[in-house]
Structure 1
Amino acid sequence: MKKSISNSLLLLSGIIILASCHSKKQLVKRQADSSAVRTDNAASAVKNKINAIKSKQVSFTTFSGKAKTKLNVNGNSNDVTMNIRIQKNQKIWVSITAVIGIEVARALITPDSILVINKLQSVYIKKPFSYIYTYASRQVNYKTVESLLVGNAIPELLNENGKLEPSNGNVVIDGQLQDLLYKLIIGPDLKVTSTDLSNQSAGQSLHIDNSAFVQADGRVIPSEIAFSSTVKNKTIQADLKYSKTEFDQPLDFPFSIPSRFSQVN
């Protein structure tokens, strides 16, 4: 249990699957957005569609959420609670609590660094942000993490070079950024339904499903997000459901490393 939870946090930080939500609020019926334009091969139509999708992305200054999370790491399953706080473009704070209510780990991610404290084993990890490239493509950056946490599209994937195709009322965006292949499914409301990322040469893949959309402080966000990741011989599945979400509230980001803790690689 101790080793599994510790590894779960480290791997989640590495492949950026620290997010999502479930709320007791009424689900939002996803309807076609009136500003959407028909997709065709004309460059202007593609540009208009991409701009319309961008306009529907969640905008915020701070975000906080509490998520019941089922983690399965290499077949080892645990139920935990994640408390997540974001200061946009600056830092992401995560606290992981075990079923018995004891905080077992804490993480702080910035555009430059990743810090993880394992309270069960009194150790910590301090790495540059580039450490995640052990688990993810080099096209991943700090803003990728923030986007996934609130159900937004990864910014770099909303470009005019991707191929756009209509499909059953949705829009499918296929493309490639260097060695990263991607596929987005955008719903009729221009919100992201699913994201697929893969780097075949590195043996990396990540699939994300967003569902059960709700209203949260005037924003439409997915209340359930399911992740499935493969990184060479490591596999991770995570199902997250928030019990609480808030935007643009003052937040604290408490993080300190006790002197008795030892640093590990």
Structure 2
Amino acid sequence: MRLTLLALLAVLLLANCNRKVAGPGNNANVPTGKLRLAQVLRTIDDNRTTAEWLDAKAKVDLESEKLNIGGTAYIRIHRDEAIWMSVKKFGFEGARALIRPDSFFLYNRLENEYIAEPLSYIEEKYKIPARFDLLQEIFFGNAVFLTDDLAVDRADNAIRLTGRSRDFATDYRIDPLTYRPLTMELQELGQDRTLTVTNADYATADGLTQTFPRSRTIVVDGGSEGMAGMQIDFTDLKFGKPVAMPFETK
């Protein structure tokens, strides 16, 4: 069960990645002048992906200390209601997952294993945050945990937002032209755990007015619990049209 859940967590939460991320193509076009946090946060919010529905196909590669697999993922999201995934290898479905705001369901077809638990089960067993809204926004390519007490400056031709509380430290790099997130790092202080998300290959998508990151690299560094990384490269994307989320265990 541990490997099955680790794979699910990596797919849902999601490596340190050296690939080039989308950013300003011409430094001369990068806005200059004093940055005001309230204005930056407002513009980021105005450029969030807010579609009610997502229907996507993606190539996924999972790498962890105990498991290395790849395949094709079919991802469907109904905003604030459900996240549905089906992972296939060589055309055969290996696993299916359904996540709701308070629970998750996983069917491992290869091992005929079925799991139905509250999301709190993940937090209790693996001591990591498991929030539906966090997973949803990461899939949509949006920044998470933005607060009005962050420090704002410029770094590496990007807008940098940093913050620190008693429990967490955050570091964001935002494209100064599109105000879309390039990287997000969330560190849990005292627990030596970090979540890093890198968005790349921004492009237009059917049903969206803003660009969407077609490449997503996500890593969970659990400290003593080990690391798990997931590379997601979207090949098909559709937004705004309702989709079915079947979950049979046959």
Which TM bucket (shorter chain)?
A: 0.7 to 0.9
- 1:220 pairs with 2:208: no
Per the alignment, residue 82 of structure 1 pairs with 73
Number of corresponding residues? 237
Indicate how the Cα distance of structure 1 residues 64 and 229 shifts in structure 2: closer, same or farther if over 3 A, else same: same
Per the alignment, residue 197 of structure 2 pairs with 208
Q: With the length of structure 1 as denominator, give the TM-score of the two structures.
A: 0.80
State the 1:28 CA deviation: 9.4
1:73: Cα distance to partner? 1.8
- Distance 1:256-1:162 versus aligned 2 partners, 3 A rule: same
Whole-Å Cα distance in 1 between the matches of residues 44 and 98 of structure 2?
30
Change in Cα spacing, 1:202 to 1:131, as seen in structure 2 (3 Å) is farther
Residue in structure 2 matched with residue 20 of structure 1 by the alignment: none
Alpha-carbon offset, residue 30 of structure 1: 5.5
| SS of alignment partner, residue 232 of structure 2 | strand
In the alignment, what sits opposite 2:175? 187
Distance (whole Å) between structure 1 residues aligned to residue 34 and residue 143 of structure 2: 18
Distance 1:143 1:178, change over 3 A: farther
Partner of 1:16: 13
1:120 and 2:110 equivalent?
A: yes
Q: 1:166 aligns with which of 154, 165, 173?
A: 154
Give the secondary-structure state (helix, strand or coil) at the position aligned to 1:212.
Answer: strand
User: Unpaired segments of 5 or more residues in structure 1?
Assistant: 18-26, 259-265
Name the aligned partner's letter for residue 107 of structure 2: I
Structure-2-length-normalised TM-score: 0.85
Pairing 1:238–2:233 present = no
Q: 2:84 aligns with which of 93, 97, 102?
A: 93
| Structure-2 separation of matches of 1:104 and 1:211 | 27
Give the C-alpha shift of residue 8 in structure 1.
4.5
Q: After superposition, what is the alpha-carbon deviation per residue over 1:116-167, rounded to whole angstroms, capped at 9, x for unaligned?
A: 11111111111111223244644x521111111021111xx22211111112
Note the C-alpha offset of 1:76. 3.1
List 4+ stretches of structure 1 deviating above 6 A: none
- Structure 2, unpaired ranges of 5+: 15-21
Counterpart residue type for residue 16 of structure 1: L
2:48 matched residue in structure 1: 57
**In the alignment, does 2:142 pair up with 1:152?**
yes
- State how far apart, in whole Å, the 2-side matches of 1:3 and 1:131 are: 13
> Which has the larger displacement, 129-138 or 140-149?
129-138
Give the secondary structure class of the aligned counterpart of 2:204.
strand
| 85, 88, 92: which one aligns with 1:102 | 92
1:75 deviation in Å?
5.2
- Give distance in 1, aligned partners of 2:172 and 2:23: 21
Evaluate the alpha carbon distance shift between residue 149 and residue 160 of structure 1 in structure 2; reply closer, same or farther with a 3 A threshold.
same
Report if the CA contact (8 A) 1:28-1:214 is conserved.
no
- Give the aligned CA root-mean-square deviation in angstroms: 2.6
Determine if contact 2:52/2:239 at 8 Å carries over to the other structure. Answer: yes
Q: Distance in 2 between matches of 1:203 and 1:186?
A: 25
- Structure 1 SS opposite 2:190: helix
What percentage of residue pairs aligned between the two structures are identical? 22
Q: CA deviation at 1:103?
A: 0.4
